């Protein structure tokens, strides 16, 4: 049971206004009449709220449709140029900065390559700040039109204003990235784990769309999972939920870079697969190297499928999701060729009843969805806040 | 982000009314003035709603307190005798039926022993129906005063009216227990997995009280877990979430009665511990037998702690809970003597950051909390429904 919560009439109006905006965003263009049907709001409320949103240029006209015998009806939609969102993907190999309009169309993009072991926080922050300037200038967008900057990073992002980041693969232990960025920009910032940001994009625009109970797994150099339960993302008490890669599947098994043994990541992460195949890791061409291993008849392929099957089956047995979306570059390499074999390995290791309820699909935003996911954090804020409140704050 | 949801003024009143009742239940006795502070509702609303609830005898006076210089203030509380809840614990060894008043005080109790492998659904249903008659007659409570019967069963309970039960340990595969019971009683029924029912009781009245992110684990003959995220219990898409006992911790390891290999239950379930110690299982005295093993210096004890540590660490890494409550009869045997050693094994197998955020405690309702948990399902319904709607339905 949810905790007691009081709702005032003002909350009701705000809630309804945000709902109207979300409905127009995801289901629009729509006429006022269609909006009353989609939202359950009265015609008078829809008329008053759309009037406000039109006045603020947040929504715009989108042509007309004929109505039976009556006047043609005006269609409305969210104004894709009302504002912009910047998404940043900080990974082991690069810092990528992308500018999106509110329809999440990419308007500009820049990438900085990180040399191995050059993950100095100040350097990463400088790349991000420079990238923000570059994409805005390339697209001719003034900073005032940017609603915020979303940054996807590896590791655990602590809750709270500090947003300290713990990313072992970077050697980051409590890095205040948001504070470093605030020294160079006054744009609203949203720092989040990259896997969770990508999961958000898959949930809204990709394979997970419309699913209330899902797990989005990211398999790359690192391995993580985002759990969505009853429509809400599970963050955990200190926002570190999702460390699926460090759940143990072999007590006392292979050593993992986390310091533990037998972690799932030590079997299905990029490094682990290459090591078990006797191939070099962390080279410039390791993505091609890994693709080669997975396309071969090496016994490592079958082993990897078994380990992945166990890892996914554990999620199914514990969480009973409707859908599992497999993403990340290793996930895509595995899934594109071997999804039926992955499914078979999962079936062998999960209980029949929850297995039957779960579909396992490949993320359809591709392996590079972290920047889009990070920008989605900005969009989420835009669609959640009551427009009136937001406008006041923005002035 | 939660899905769009429309709230009408009537919803607001219902929501507030249910909140007022829950507040009085968990925080009462309280005066009307205190209730305005606790709920945030206006004095006029509190006065009108408490008037309605008093009129229906759902709440009653509970004495007075002096107020500074003014008239003494009347205290209110939920009427513990407004109605009764019956809780049923169906386990491998018995069917136990208990009658509770709304303060969750036990008023009567009866137990039927099940012989091994005598888990015929009709027999279980007959025991439950007989037990309901016995506790009502023992306590002198007429059936009209019973708000419902909660039944905790092993295994997976399917969502929906049928409420089919899949319990491998019983040989139940799609048993329509609710339908069997409906043939013999017209009381409202709530059938739920016993581990989840117990978890509900620990969350409301036991060790988990006040925790929004928690996992309640049950370790007995079977092994399960209930995940609570942001205050809500995670059920999964077909209500089978929580099969923690069948997550794999040793790929290709010990065979489990589910047909798989390397399941956590195959290492820490009652049967598994006894088998590994070379002791007989499923005897009349196996609880004493197991207590003896765990009190000995057998290497099985240390092994069991390691396996349990890995199982709990996997929950911490994946879900980042604030608290883990260990329950069930094996859980109590392990925890009462060995909790510090359990904690050490967890620390060794989890990431430092989420481990530091989690407290691991023993359930304080004891190993027999399933019947209380099942009765709590009835209480939950009572406290969730708007009293006006409930009263109409009851007529």
Please, which residues have CB within 8 angstroms of residue A274's CB and are 6 or more apart in sequence?
Answer: A280, A281, A286, A289, A290, A293
Residues from chain A that touch B260, judged by Cβ atoms under 8 A, are 348-349
Is the minimum CB–CB distance between B314 and chain A shorter than 8 Å?
yes
Residues A321-331, mean pLDDT to the nearest whole number: 93
**N- to C-terminal Cα distance for chain B?**
39
Which region holds residue A282: left if phi is over 0, alpha if psi is between -120 and 50, else beta? left
The Cα-based distances of A48 to A13, A42, A143 in angstroms read 11, 10, 31
Return the half-sphere exposure (C-beta side, CA atoms, 13 A cut-off) of residue A347. 8
CA A128 – CA B17 distance, rounded (Å): 50
Using CA atoms in the order A236, A237, A238, A244, what is the torsion angle rounded to 10 degrees? -30
Least CA distance to A21: which residue of chain B?
B4
Domain B210-362 sits in which CATH superfamily? ATPase, nucleotide binding domain (3.30.420.40)
Examine domains B84-197+370-394 and B210-362 and report if their fold is the same: yes
Cβ neighbours, 10 Å, residue B105: 9
Using CA atoms in the order A331, A333, A338, A341, what is the torsion angle rounded to 10 degrees? -30
Q: What are the b/e assignments for B261-277, b being 16+ CB within 10 Å?
A: bbbbbbbbbbbbbbebb
pLDDT in tens, chain B (395 residues): 434 445 566 777 788 888 899 889 988 899 999 998 888 888 898 999 999 999 999 999 988 887 777 778 899 999 999 999 999 999 887 899 999 999 999 999 999 988 766 789 999 999 999 999 999 999 999 999 999 999 999 888 887 666 788 887 788 888 999 999 999 999 999 999 888 888 888 888 888 777 789 999 999 888 999 999 887 889 899 888 999 999 999 999 999 988 999 999 999 999 999 999 998 887 777 888 999 999 999 999 999 999 999 999 999 999 999 999 999 889 999 988 899 999 999 999 999 989 999 999 999 887 778 999 999 999 988 988 755 444 433 32
Contact status, residue B107 vs residue B101, Cβ threshold 8 Å: yes
Q: What is the CA radius of gyration of chain B?
A: 23
Q: Are strands A146-153 and A189-193 parallel, antiparallel or unpaired?
A: parallel
CA A301 – CA A290 distance, rounded (Å): 11
Contact status, residue B147 vs residue B188, Cβ threshold 8 Å: yes
The pLDDT assigned to B250 comes to: 97
Mind telling me how many Å the CA of A126 is from chain B's nearest CA?
Answer: 27
CATH fold of the domain at A207-362: Nucleotidyltransferase; domain 5 (3.30.420)
As a CATH number, domain A9-78 is 1.10.10.10
The Cα-based distances of A338 to A332, A345, A352 in angstroms read 10, 11, 21
Please, which residues have CB within 8 angstroms of residue A184's CB and are 6 or more apart in sequence?
Answer: A125, A129
In this complex, the residue of A4, A250, A307 whose CB is nearest that of residue B250 is A250
CATH fold of the domain at B84-197+370-394: Nucleotidyltransferase; domain 5 (3.30.420)
Contact status, residue A31 vs residue A39, Cβ threshold 8 Å: no
Please, which residues have CB within 8 angstroms of residue A4's CB and are 6 or more apart in sequence?
Answer: B19, B22, B23, B39
Spatial CA neighbour of B218 closest among B234, B239, B202: B202
Residues from chain A that touch B242, judged by Cβ atoms under 8 A, are 318, 320
The Cα-based distances of B305 to B7, B61, B273 in angstroms read 49, 51, 11
The distance from CA B330 to its chain's CA centroid, rounded to whole angstroms, is 17
The distance from CA B297 to its chain's CA centroid, rounded to whole angstroms, is 34
Is the minimum CB–CB distance between A36 and chain B shorter than 8 Å?
no
CATH tag for A84-194+370-394 (out of 3.90.105.10, 3.30.420.40, 3.40.50.970, 3.40.190.290): 3.30.420.40
Q: Domain boundaries in chain B?
A: 9-78, 84-197+370-394, 210-362
Please, which residues have CB within 8 angstroms of residue A284's CB and are 6 or more apart in sequence?
Answer: none
Contact status, residue B228 vs residue B234, Cβ threshold 8 Å: yes
CA A41 – CA A35 distance, rounded (Å): 8
Pairwise CB contact (< 8 Å): A232 & B235: no
Pairwise CB contact (< 8 Å): A318 & B232: no
Residues from chain B that touch A4, judged by Cβ atoms under 8 A, are 19, 22-23, 39
What stretch of H or E contains A172? strand A172-175
């Amino acid at each position: 049971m949810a905790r007691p919560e009081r709702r005032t009439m003002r909350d009701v109006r705000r809630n309804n206004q945000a709902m109207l905006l979300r409905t127009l965003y995801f289901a629009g263009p729509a006429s006022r009449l269609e909006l009353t049907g989609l939202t359950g709001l009265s015609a008078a409320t829809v008329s008053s709220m759309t009037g406000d949103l039109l006045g603020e240029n947040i929504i715009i006209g989108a042509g007309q449709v004929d109505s039976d015998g009556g006047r043609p009806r005006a269609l409305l939609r969210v104004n894709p140029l009302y504002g912009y969102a910047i998404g940043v993907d900080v990974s082991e190999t690069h810092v990528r900065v992308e500018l999106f309009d509110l329809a999440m169309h990419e308007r500009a993009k820049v990438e900085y390559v990180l040399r191995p072991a050059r993950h100095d926080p100040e350097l990463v922050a400088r790349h991000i700040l420079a990238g923000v300037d570059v994409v805005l200038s390339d697209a001719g967008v003034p900073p005032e039109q940017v609603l915020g900057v979303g940054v996807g990073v590896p590791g655990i992002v602590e809750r709270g204003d500090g947003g300290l980041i713990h990313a072992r693969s970077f050697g980051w232990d409590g890095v205040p990235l948001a504070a470093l960025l605030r020294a160079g920009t006054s744009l609203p910032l949203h720092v989040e784990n990259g896997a969770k940001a990508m999961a958000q994009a898959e949930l809204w625009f990709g394979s997970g769309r419309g699913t209330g109970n899902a797990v989005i797994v990211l398999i790359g150099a690192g391995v993580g999972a985002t759990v969505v339960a009853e429509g809400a993302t599970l963050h955990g008490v200190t926002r570190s939920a999702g460390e699926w890669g460090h759940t143990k599947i072999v007590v006392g098994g292979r050593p993992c870079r986390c310091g533990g043994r037998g972690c799932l990541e030590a079997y299905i992460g990029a490094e682990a697969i290459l090591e078990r195949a006797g191939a070099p890791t962390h080279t410039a061409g390791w993505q091609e190297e890994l693709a080669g291993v997975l396309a071969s008849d090496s016994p490592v392929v079958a082993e990897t499928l078994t380990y992945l099957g166990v890892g996914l089956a554990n999620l199914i047995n514990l969480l009973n999701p409707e859908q599992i979306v497999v993403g990340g570059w290793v996930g895509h390499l595995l899934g594109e060729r071997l999804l039926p074999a992955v499914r078979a390995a999962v079936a062998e290791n999960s209980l029949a009843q929850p297995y039957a309820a779960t579909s396992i699909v490949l993320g359809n935003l591709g392996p590079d969805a972290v920047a889009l996911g990070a920008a989605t954090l900005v969009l989420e804020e835009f669609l959640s806040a009551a427009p009136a409140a937001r406008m006041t704050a923005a002035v």
